[in-house]
Amino acid sequence: MLTTYGFVLNKKEVREFDREYCFFTKKYGKIHLIAKAVRKPLSKLSAQLEPPSLIEIVFVPMSDKGLITTALVKKSFLKTHKNLNKFRVYTRISDVINSFTEFKQPDSLVWNLFNLSINNLEQWNSKIVELNFLAKFIKILGFGPNISTCINCQKKFKDQKKIYFDNHKWGFCCEDCGKNMKPISWQLFKSVDVLTNLDFAEIVKRELNEPIELRYNDIYTFLKNYIKYIKKYF
């Protein structure tokens, strides 16, 4: 038997009384596990497997889908469980992780970001937590945007008045190179910089979270398009 911590990414009903869970775990990465008889009325296991909890899972590994023997909630996130906006962010974070990870590939960077984001979600506004997750996840994947120089001419950005985004070369570019492009706002550029390069604790300590939350729609659209773009490499 094996033991690990994990979060539920998704679940589906199988056979008459069973459920199949997809977890992202600390030790084994993404795995599929079957919980037997959890849909019977007296199942004790079922309550321990409810997202968004941090769960200690004990399971019998199999070649394809292992079998859960016991599960125990190690940390429950009650505000996230009750608040629909927070829970939706949990689900969206889970979906992004699910779509970018391979089965049975442990990844401590992804695990740490996932774990930190779920803990942050309980305490902070769901908008800043989601944007922070997306920017940091893009960076972990190795696709973090270059914030310091133009993607085209390599000129430093510090003297720039206007910033553009090159949709073909996929990166920020300067005014000279971006003549025929639509400019993006300096605030959006700086927000992406902060979210990519500053730890979450530092962002809230410097009170940068509120101005970023106010621009949620713009930043979210930018980061979602970014994620969609890099998906083709996975």
Per rule CB under 5 A, is residue 177 in the interface with Zn ion? Answer: yes
Among 174, 204, 212, 219, binds Zn ion (CB under 5 A): 174
Q: How far is the CB of 194 from Zn ion (least distance, A)?
A: 22
Q: Which is nearer to Zn ion, 31 or 177 (CB)?
A: 177
Which lies closer to Zn ion via its Cβ, residue 77 or residue 164? 164
Rounded distance between C-alpha atoms, residue 79 and residue 110, angstroms: 23
Minimum gap (Å) between residue 225 Cβ and Zn ion: 21
- The distance of closest approach from Cβ of residue 145 to Zn ion in the complex, given in angstroms and rounded to an integer, is 15
Angle made by CA atoms 101, 70, 33, in degrees to the nearest 5: 30
Question: What three-state secondary structure class fits 75?
Answer: strand
CB closer to Zn ion out of 32 and 155: 155
| Nearer Cβ to Zn ion (21/164) | 164
The size of the interface with Zn ion (CB under 5 A), counted in residues, is: 6
For residues 174 and 169, what is the distance between their CA atoms, to the nearest angstrom? Answer: 13
Residues 79-108 that bind Zn ion (CB under 5 A): none
Structure-token match 């774990």, residue found: 115
Alpha helices in 141-215 (DSSP H): 186-197, 200-205, 209-214
Asked whether 138 and 230 are in contact (CB, 8 A), the reply is yes
Using CA of residue 126, residue 200, residue 109, residue 4, what is the dihedral sign? negative
Distance from C-alpha of 223 to C-alpha of 231, rounded to nearest angstrom: 12
Nearer to Zn ion, 177 or 223 (CB): 177
User: Interacting stretch for Zn ion, rule CB under 5 A, among 39-47, 172-180, 188-196, 222-230?
Assistant: 172-180
Identify residue 36 by its one-letter amino acid code. K
Binding mask 124-163 for Zn ion (x = CB under 5 A): --------------------------x-xx-x--------
Q: Which is nearer to Zn ion, 35 or 174 (CB)?
A: 174
Distance spanning both ends of the chain, measured CA to CA: 32
The residue whose two tokens read 């009750």 is: 82
Name the site residues for Zn ion (rule: CB under 5 A): 150, 152-153, 155, 174, 177
